[in-house]
Amino acid sequence: MSSVSVTMKWTCRFIAAGFCLGAAFHAASALAALAGHPWSDTPAWRHVLFVVVDGALAILVLLRPAAAWLPLLLLLGQQSSTHGRDVWVAWRQQGRIAWLSLGTLLFVAASTAIAVANRRRTPRDVNRISPAQAPDADRRARTSGSSDLRCPAGAEAATASRKHAGQRQS
């Protein structure tokens, strides 16, 4: 397993943990609002909604990280309009930094950037070639007749299989 795939696995775990923390925060906020002691003016139903959204994103990032880029991009747009407004209003009207909103924005933005940059990667990418190896893999694929440019092991196995099949037919 390459160091890139190990790094990506831990990055996905870190992002998922962040969304789990967000879901836990929203669950506690929803319970507080339902108990009559709201922490903010946000209604309980909205906190419940974000328990579901954050929980679903945590699962998606762990199970299908390549598919997470679009939901994260949509969430970034939504979070920018709410938490971004909160950061701006707190700074302009009160002269303070809304740390929770700023942290949320930075986390979602970084998660989105990572997901967009890695949107074509899948768990099987461990066997895929790096861009530096691409010319060699392209040559190997042309000479072997394999159309799988992404997995050199697959191209070599296909070539060996064809050679073995040709020997049996002779």
168 has a pLDDT exceeding 70: no
Which residues 6+ apart lie within 8 Å of 109 measured at CB? Answer: 76
3-state secondary structure of 40: coil
126 has a pLDDT exceeding 60: no
Higher pLDDT, 123 or 89: 89
Model-level pTM? 0.67
**Encoded tokens for 110:** 């970084």
**pLDDT given for residue 153 in this prediction:** 41
- Residue 97: CB atoms within 10 A of its CB come to 12
Higher pLDDT, 6 or 63: 63
Helix 99-117 and helix 3-34, axial crossing angle in degrees, nearest 10 = 140
Chain-wide mean pLDDT for the chain?
Answer: 79
CB 19 within 8 A of CB 58: yes
Angle (CA) 118 123 125, round 5° = 70
Q: Is 128 exposed, middle or buried (CB count within 10 Å of its CB: 0-12, 13-18, 19+)?
A: buried
Instruction: Tell me the C-alpha distance between 122 and 64, whole Å.
Output: 7
3-state secondary structure of 80: helix
Residues 16-48 have pLDDT tens digits of: 999 999 999 999 999 999 998 888 888 999 999
136 has a pLDDT exceeding 50: yes
Residues 90-118 have pLDDT tens digits of: 999 999 999 999 999 999 999 999 999 88
